[in-house]
Structure 1
Amino acid sequence: MRHLKRLDTNNKLAFENINVKDFSARYPDIDPDAANQFLHGINADGNAIYGLDVTHAAWQAVGKGAYIAPLRWPVIRWFADRAYLLFAKHRNRISRWVTGQARCEQCNL
C-alpha cells in the first residue's frame, strides 16, 4: 500500500481504514468484518469491486496495471482468485513470517 501511495502522484486512490469509528457511517454498504477478510473497493463508476479486481484497479490507476494484468486473464483469473483468497485468509500469519509482525498497525499511510 505504501508503494502504491508513492506511485499515486495524481491522487487517484483513496485508502480507508476500516477500523476508524466513522467508517460504517461513511461506507454503509461495506461490512468492515467482510472488508477485513478480503479487499473491498469502489471504482470510479461507484461500483463495488473485490479482491484482485481492487488490486488491479489500483495498479491501473497509477499506470502500472500491466504488472498484474495477467492475473485477470480468463484462465489465470480463476486460479489467481483462489490463491488470493487463500492468501487473504492467512495474511496475518504470512506477514508475521515475512516481516516478524502479524499485521501493520494501520500502516501510517
Structure 2
Amino acid sequence: MSTLTIFYDGFCPLCVREMAQLRRIDPDGDKLTLVDIQQAEMAQQYPQIDVAEAGRILLSLTADGQILRGLDSTHAAWSAVGKGHRTAFLRWPLIRWFADKIYLWFAANRYQVSYWLTGQARCDSGSCARRD
C-alpha cells in the first residue's frame, strides 16, 4: 500500500510531467498512488476529496487520512520517494510564505504557464498537445 495518494490535474502538462517523474522513481507504486482528478470515477473512489478544491490546488492524502495541500503535497510526494531534498527549502520558514503565494498563482494559471514553458497548454485523452 502506498504511503501517499496525490490528486493531480491530468489536463495540465507540467503537472503530468511531474507525476511522470515521480512514477519513474516509484515504478511499483508502493510509495505513491497518483490519481488524475479529471477521471470520472475519481469522486466515487475518493469521496473525502473535494474535486473542486483539487482543481484549484494540489491535494494529497496520507496513509493516516490527513489531507495535504499545495507545496506540502509536493514536498510529501518527493519525500516519499526519497527525494525530499529537492523541495525541502520550499518549506523553510522564511521561504515558505513566498513559495506558497507563488504556488497559488501558478496553480491558478497552470495552463498558461504550461504553454509558456512547454508549448503545450493542455492535455486531453492522455496526451499533451498545444492548444491555441
TM-score normalised per structure 1: 0.90
Give the match for residue 94 of structure 1.
113
Q: 1:105: Cα distance to partner? A: 3.0
Percent identity over the alignment is 49
Give the match for residue 4 of structure 1.
22
SS of structure 2 residue aligned to 1:15: strand
SS of structure 2 residue aligned to 1:28: coil
- Quote the Cα distance in structure 2 between the aligned partners of 1:77 and 1:95: 23
- Quote the Cα distance in structure 1 between the aligned partners of 2:86 and 2:58: 19
| Stretches of structure 1 lacking an aligned partner (at least 5 in a row) | none
Give the match for residue 15 of structure 2.
none
Are 2:21 and 1:23 equivalent residues in the alignment? Answer: no
Change (3 A) 1:73 1:107: farther
Q: 1:14: Cα distance to partner? A: 0.6
Q: 1:21: Cα distance to partner? A: 1.9
TM-score normalised per structure 2: 0.75
How do 1:80-91 residues align onto structure 2 when only pairs under 5 Å count?
Answer: 80-91=99-110
Q: 1:47: Cα distance to partner? A: 0.6
> Partner letter of residue 21 of structure 2?
H
Change (3 A) 1:73 1:10: farther
Which of 73, 77, 85 aligns to 1:66? It is 85
Question: In proportion to residue count, which structure has more strand?
Answer: 2
The CA RMSD measured in Å over matched residues stands at 1.5
Give the match for residue 13 of structure 2.
none
Runs of 4 or more consecutive aligned structure 1 residues displaced over 2 Å after TM superposition: 103-108
